[in-house]
A and B are shown apart, each in its own frame.
Chain A
Amino acid sequence: MVDALFLGVAVLTIVSAIAALEMRSLVYAGLALMGTLGGIAGFFLLLDSPFVALFQIAVYVGSIAVLILFTIMLVKRELIFHKKEDTKRRYAGIGLMLIIMISMGALIFNSGLSSITTDEPPVDYKEIGNDFLTYYWPALIAMALVLSGSVTGAMILARRYDGVKNE
């Protein structure tokens, strides 16, 4: 049986996810996306994973959402409110969404997942640190290289050549 807190976080997450895609203004849509990401952090807290929850808040709600808002502000005002959509495509998308929800929902309900419960203590964050520094250390280094490469690549992509017209 779900508790009220879970229900509240679930409603916040799903409603703000829909709002992020459907709100007319991109600025409000970005703020709604922050709500979704914060809701996911709430789920992580409910799952006794405070380390991942704080990482989620620091990376997603803190930096990515701000980055997205600044990018939205760099775009022209008319485009922020501009919403061009094909009605047929929209109905097809809603149909696809319902098919995925119903088929995967039916699959999950019949899979026996509902019988899985746990009384064991949650994973300690020391174990995660241990994992990072022992078994997954090559992946950690690869991730660091990917991150620095992508940030450098993003800066090279977005830089403006002074004196050269782009148009």
Chain B
Amino acid sequence: MSNELIDFVIVSVALLAIGIYGLSVKRNFIRMLFAVEIVINAANLNLVAFARFLPHSGGQTFALFSIAIAAAEVAVGLALIIVAYRMYKNIDVADFRSLKG
């Protein structure tokens, strides 16, 4: 293999940093969901890269579990967006004031 493990890990770190930037700056519910997806994909990339270079099947198995759980998370997240939009007519999380304690 011409690519090394560190190349994949560096791409993964870049994606993680972009995802954290999105989570901390964006106030749009859908964009925050995008950022979460990017972070999850960075983690999956790490898992599969280590699984290839060690080599061990566990990393790929966990990546498959992670993808399936992320699908469930997106389904619930999008349903929450629809409910919040119906209630507030907005998808800006700063406007969801009644969720505060």
B52 touches A49 (CB 8 A): yes
Point out the residues of chain A lying under 8 angstroms from B81, CB to CB.
Answer: 71, 75
Q: Within B1-55, which residues are at the interface with A (CB < 8 Å)? A: 1-11, 13-22, 24-28, 30-31, 33-35, 37-38, 41, 44-45, 48-49, 51-55
Q: Is A120 an interface residue (CB 8 A)?
A: yes
Instruction: Give the residue of B15, B44, B52, B83 whose beta carbon is less than 8 angstroms from that of A123.
Output: B52
- Bin the interface of chain B by size: 35 or more
Q: Within A18-52, which residues are at the interface with B (CB < 8 Å)? A: 18, 20-21, 26, 29-30, 33, 36-37, 40, 43-44, 46-49, 51-52
Number of A-B contacts (CB under 8 A): 241
Instruction: Give A56 to B75 CA distance when docked, in angstroms.
Output: 16
Instruction: Give the residue of A52, A82, A97, A139 whose beta carbon is less than 8 angstroms from that of B17.
Output: A97
Q: Within B52-83, which residues are at the interface with A (CB < 8 Å)? A: 52-58, 60-61, 63-65, 67-76, 78-83
14 further interface pairs, Cβ-Cβ under 8 Å (given A40-B45, A68-B74)? A2-B4, A3-B2, A10-B7, A14-B14, A21-B22, A21-B34, A68-B33, A68-B78, A71-B30, A93-B24, A100-B16, A108-B10, A113-B6, A166-B86
Contact residues of B with A, CB < 8 Å?
1-11, 13-22, 24-28, 30-31, 33-35, 37-38, 41, 44-45, 48-49, 51-58, 60-61, 63-65, 67-76, 78-83, 85-87, 89-92
Question: Could you jot down 10 A-B contacts, CB within 8 Å?
Answer: A26-B30, A33-B34, A33-B37, A33-B38, A47-B49, A113-B6, A117-B1, A118-B54, A123-B52, A158-B82
